[in-house]
Amino acid sequence: HCLSMGERAWYLIHRWDNSILDINEQVVLYKDSSKEVMGTTEIANKLGVRAICNGQKCTTSDFRVFHSDGSVEVVCFKASEEAVFAPKKERLRQRLSIEQAYWEWQERPVSWSLDYYTKQNFILADNIDMVTRFYDKSKVFDDVSYLKHLIATKQIVVDMESEILCCGEMVKNTT
């Protein structure tokens, strides 16, 4: 699945969003242009920067997100804004400009954005991971797992953003 803990957190949080239908990970960007796609080599030439690959498949975008309203977006995930905009990161910024143009300059443009490890809510991601293990009711085996199932299926709503859920305590306090 995801290549880093930050990507994992981003993925879990966005899959939790009911307006998101699907998320593709590590979507290939092609070097050569075709009728449907302007390739990264042509884009690099238009931008006046060095191309980013040697083979047919050259690089990937981290996430392609399909929304229920029909929109599609691509998200590039990096450690921090500082890691991207530091003075010595000019080549990285060139590569990102090629990636952004790859999506935005196509016949059917797709919005592109950057997101960062430093902006992820890891508490929310860990809580989502914990409860969604019991999304399928056949996994439920006791009151605690049943509570997690109810949260995972959004039959009950609890604060999942500010602290790790203590479902055992929650069950104990309701009995």
Instruction: State pLDDT tens for residues 40-99.
Output: 889 999 999 988 876 655 788 999 999 999 999 999 999 999 989 998 999 999 999 999
- At 102 the pLDDT is 93
| Biggest distance spanned by C-alpha atoms of the chain | 67
The whole-angstrom separation of Cα 137 and Cα 159 is: 22
Rounded average pLDDT over 149-169: 96
Rounded average pLDDT over 151-171: 95
- At 56 the pLDDT is 56
Q: Give me the amino acid identity at 111.
A: S
The whole-angstrom separation of Cα 16 and Cα 69 is: 16
The whole-angstrom separation of Cα 27 and Cα 110 is: 13
Q: Is the pTM value of this prediction over 0.95? A: no
Rounded average pLDDT over 155-159: 96
**119-129 in b/e burial notation, b at 16+ Cβ within 10 A?**
ebbebbbbbbe
Rounded average pLDDT over 107-113: 90
- At 55 the pLDDT is 60
* Strand ranges across the sheet with 57-67: 20-30, 57-67, 72-78, 111-116
Q: Give me the amino acid identity at 109.
A: P
Tell me the pairing of strands 111-116 and 72-78: parallel
The whole-angstrom separation of Cα 152 and Cα 168 is: 15
CB atoms within 10 A of CB 57: 10
- At 32 the pLDDT is 80
